[in-house]
Each structure stands twice: as C-alpha cells, then as structure tokens.
Amino acid sequence: MYMIVVTQVPFLVTIWYSLRSWNTLTPGSNKFVGFDEYKLVFADPTFRSAILNTVVITASAVIISMILATTLAILVNRRFIGRGVVRTMLITPFLLMPVATALLFKTTIYDPIFGLLDWVLGPFGVHQVNWVGTHSVAAVVAVLVWEWTPFMMLIVLAGLQSEPLESLEAARVDGANAVQSFGLITLPYLRRYIELGLLLGSIYILQAFGEIFVLTQGGGGHGSATTNLPYYIYELAFNQFNVSEAAAAGVIVVIATEIIAMTTLRLLSTLFRASEAMG
C-alpha cells in the first residue's frame, strides 16, 4: 500500500497537472486545457534538443563505461597480489557523492590553469583548455563514466564468477586459446549480464541531474548542449515556473523510460527464473 501511495499518486498528479495550463507566475492560469501543454512541449525546440542531448549523453556514458568495466572485470577476475585492494579502489568512485564528484572534477581536474588534466596533457601541447566550457558534453560524459564504471564492473564480475568452469575446461581441452575461449564461450555467457548492466545503467544515467547542474548548468559549447531531459524539466518548473509544461515533459520522460524499463524487467525476470531453477 505504501508503495502505491508514494509512487503512483505523484504520477497521477503529474498527469493531472500536465493536462492543465498552470504557470505559477500567471494567476488564474490553472485550468483544464487538455493536451495543449503536450503540443507546447513538442513544439519547443529546446525540448527536442534536450531529447537528443539525453540520448547522446546517456548512450555514450553507458557504452564507454561498459567497455571499460568489462576490461576491468576481466583483469580483476584473475588471481593476483592485492586483488582485494584493487577491487576496493575500483568501486570507490561509485560511492562518492555525485555532487561532490562533479565539484571536484570541475575544480581540481578540469580547471584550465591549475587542473590536473592541464598538467597531464601539458607535455602533449595541450594548454589551458576550458574543458567544461568548450568540451562540455565530453566533460559531463567523462564524469558519468568515472562514476558508473564500478557499477557495471561489479555486474560483469558477478557474471564472470558465476561462469561454469567446465565449459572453459572443455574449450581448453579442445585446444582453444585464451582469446578464442573468451570470444566463443565467456562473451556469449556474459551477454545477459552485460545487457543488465547496460539497461540498469541507462535507467540511472538518464536521470543524471546533479552532475550537469554542477558542471555546466545545462550550458555548453553549442548553446545548451548538456541540457538533458531532467535539467530541461527543472528549468521549466523552477526557473520559468511553468508547472504544467514541466509535468507534460515529465510524462513524456516516463513513457520513454518505461520502454527501457520493460526490457529490463523482462531480462531480470529471465535471470531470476534461471537462478531459481539452479537454486
């Protein structure tokens, strides 16, 4: 019951507001207008670019962190000295408060003069680049990748560790080398785990707000290149006080997320049945 009240009621209220034309700055504007606000949202070029930005930011962050995470998971899955310490070090970025991470990256790493990035790239002839200003999307994506790689790594690692050893053993007996047995046996086995990581990652990164709020305030090299949907809704509701348009945009985001979510749920359900069958 509690879950229904806390999660479903706000959504119903959102739909209700989205069908009205409420702007808190305009008295008497709170009345029923049907789908007009949706038309307004779709007509807004910022909304369309916000969709595009969301797709670009989410997809690149999810894919890059998955590649990095799979590499790391394979490396950490070996036995070596200090494996526990390395694992602990690797999961730490995920534990950091996202807002603090973004602040630290903005100052100590991305700063054009005193930032670490400027110092590291100095010998390669890169000097005093305003990372956040000119490469804003890349700057945001880099922070997101740094934050979410550990999450993906843990999921892939769980997959690697649950892999039945017999099939690998059989492959070795058949004369497969390390690369072959990885490509032919481990990777197909990992597929479900990688999919799960990608989907859950997408659902979370789609909602990235704090990082963008801190790093770029939705701005960027080309106008508002980092305004993703959450930031767009925030601007509508809390800077332009356009409650209904924000609510309408919110409903659209829900529908979009729902598509990813349904896929995730289906995948989880198969994993879940599989582990049940094993247990």
Partner 1 sequence: MATVAAQRPRRRWLTRRRVVGTFWTTFTWLLAFVLFFPVLWMVLTSFKREGDAYTTPPKIAFHPTLSQFSQVFNGGAGPPFEHSLFVSLVSVVFVLLLGIPAAYALSVRAIERWRDVLFFFLSTKMLPYVAAIVPIYIVALHIGLLDNDWALVILYTGFNLPLAVWMIRSFLLEIPKEVIEAARIDGAGLFIELTRVILPVAIPGIAATALICVIFSWNEFFFAYFLTATRGPTVPVFMISFLQSEGEYWARLAAAATVACLPVILAGWLAQRQLVRGLSLGALK
Q: Does 90 bind partner 1 (CB under 8 A)?
A: yes
Cα separation, 201 vs 207, whole angstroms: 10
Minimum distance from CB of 109 to partner 1 (Å)? 6
* Alpha-carbon torsion, ordered 109, 51, 207, 117, to 10 deg: -10
Options 6-14, 31-39, 129-137, 163-171: segment touching partner 1 (CB under 8 A): 6-14
Least Cβ distance, residue 94 to partner 1 (angstroms): 8
Cβ partners under 8 Å of residue 85, min gap 6: none
Residues in a beta bridge with 20: 32
Q: Does 212 bind partner 1 (CB under 8 A)?
A: no
Q: Does 240 bind partner 1 (CB under 8 A)?
A: no
User: What tokens appear for 3 in the block?
Assistant: 């879950």
| Residue 231 C-beta: closest distance to partner 1, Å | 9
Q: Where are the alpha helices (DSSP H) in 122-242?
A: 131-134, 136-162, 165-173, 178-181, 187-205, 210-215, 229-234
Among 86, 129, 176, 185, binds partner 1 (CB under 8 A): 86
Which one, 10 or 34, has the nearer CB to partner 1? 10
Instruction: Based on the shown chain and the rule CB under 8 A, indicate whether residue 35 belongs to the binding site for partner 1.
Output: no
Q: CA 192 to CA 267: how far, in whole Å?
A: 8
Check binding of 193 to partner 1 (CB under 8 A): yes
| Interface residue with partner 1, options 67, 99, 170, 184 (CB under 8 A) | 99
Residue 154 near partner 1 by CB under 8 A: yes
Binding residue for partner 1 (CB under 8 A) from 63, 103, 138, 160? 103
**Element housing 67 (H / E):** helix 45-76
Q: In the beta sheet, which residues pair with residue 223? A: 220
